[in-house]
């Protein structure tokens, strides 16, 4: 069992560290507006595949890390990621049997919800932000989802076969 849970845990942790790298890496301004929400994508994937181990609590802690490292309102990303994890865990059985196009549409909806929560919190806290720019990460995240999905599934089965 311990070897089993190890083989489940390592791919997640490594993918999260890489996700944080991609999130914090300095990029030119033009591309920066389209930087996907890597953490949201990872949380959706892992909460869908392993809803018992990686659920709302982990998502919340990841959100706090994001808030501190980016200097946003403490709890803003935590709240949004937590809700993303909840929506995914709630529908994970359904999402597992969805064909890829339908799953991608679902991910689009969840990413929109994520950005809407961030937008909402900014609005309530009176932080100035033009609404149109929120769509960049949603679009790029949706486009990248099939790749992320295929890649992470490959990694997951690869480590299992190795063990």
Partner 1 sequence: MVASRESTNNPGRIPALGFRVLGLVFISILLMYFDNRDNHLDTVRKSIGAAVYPILVVVDAPVRLWNWLGNSTTSRANLEMELSRLKSERLLTNARLQKLNALEAENTRLRSMLDARSRVRDQVRVAEIMSVDANPFDHSLVIDIGTQDGVFDGQALVGADGVVGQVIKAGLITSQAMLISDTDHALPVEVNRNGLRTIVVGTGSIDSLELPFIVNNADIRVGDLLVTSGLGGAFPPGYPVATVKTVTRIPHEPYADVTAKPAAPLGQVREVMLIFSSAVAVPEVTVDE
Binding site for partner 1 (CB under 8 A): 4, 7-8, 17, 20-21, 23-26, 28-29, 32-33, 35, 37, 50-52, 55-57, 60, 63-65, 68-76, 78-79, 82-83, 86, 89-90, 93, 118, 121, 125, 127-130, 133, 136-137, 160
Find the shortest distance in angstroms from Cβ 47 to partner 1: 10
Find the shortest distance in angstroms from Cβ 26 to partner 1: 5
**Nearer CB in complex with partner 1: 30/101:** 30
**Nearer CB in complex with partner 1: 35/146:** 35
Find the shortest distance in angstroms from Cβ 150 to partner 1: 17
**Nearer CB in complex with partner 1: 69/102:** 69
**Is the Cα torsion angle 47, 137, 10, 77 positive or negative in sign?**
negative
Could you tell me which residues come within 8 angstroms of residue 27 by beta carbon, excluding any fewer than 6 positions away?
A: 35
> Half-sphere exposure of residue 155, counting CA atoms within 13 Å on the CB side?
17
Q: With contact defined as beta carbons under 8 Å apart, do 116 and 129 qualify? A: no
- Tell me how many degrees the CA angle 144-72-22 measures, rounded to the nearest 5: 30
Q: With contact defined as beta carbons under 8 Å apart, do 38 and 22 qualify? A: yes
């Amino acid at each position: 069992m311990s070897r089993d849970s190890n083989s489940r845990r390592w791919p997640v942790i490594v993918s999260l560290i890489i996700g944080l790298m991609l999130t914090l890496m300095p990029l030119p301004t033009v591309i920066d507006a389209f930087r996907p929400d890597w953490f949201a994508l990872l949380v959706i994937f892992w909460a869908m595949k392993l809803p018992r181990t990686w659920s709302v609590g982990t998502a919340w802690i990841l959100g706090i890390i994001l808030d501190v490292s980016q200097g946003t309102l403490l709890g803003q990303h935590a709240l949004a990621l937590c809700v993303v994890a909840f929506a995914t865990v709630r529908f994970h059985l359904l999402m597992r049997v969805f064909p890829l196009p339908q799953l991608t549409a679902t991910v689009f909806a969840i990413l929109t919800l994520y950005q809407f929560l961030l937008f909402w919190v900014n609005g309530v806290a009176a932080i100035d932000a033009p609404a149109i720019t929120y769509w960049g990460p949603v679009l790029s995240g949706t486009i990248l989802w099939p790749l992320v999905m295929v890649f992470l599934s490959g990694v997951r089965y690869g480590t299992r076969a190795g063990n």
